[in-house]
Amino acid sequence: MKDVLEFVGGKGESYKAANKDLWTMMLEFCETMSPNLDGYEADGAWPTLLDDFVASKKGGNEKKVDEVA
């Protein structure tokens, strides 16, 4: 959870508020994902913010993990 909060805090003005979906899914994400993000599925129904977080942790750019250029 700490890493996710630091990631969101580093986004500055990009995220001023969380909608209900993000709020709910953030809790589920933090409860179900292991710290090394094993089990994360890029084609899952996670909000884009969480996809961006996983991409940044795995060394990718901060675009959606399954996004094709």
What pLDDT digit, counting tens, does each position of 1-47 carry?
788 888 888 876 677 778 899 889 989 998 989 888 988 888 888 99
Task: Give the architecture-level CATH label for domain 2-57.
Answer: Orthogonal Bundle (1.10)
> What pLDDT is recorded for position 13?
67
Residue located via tokens 């710290």: 35
d(CA 54, CA 57): 5
pLDDT at 63 over 70: no
Sorting pLDDT into bands at 50, 70 and 90, what band is 69? very low
d(CA 13, CA 20): 19
- Whole-prediction pTM: 0.72
Sorting pLDDT into bands at 50, 70 and 90, what band is 54? very high
| 67: its two tokens | 């996004």
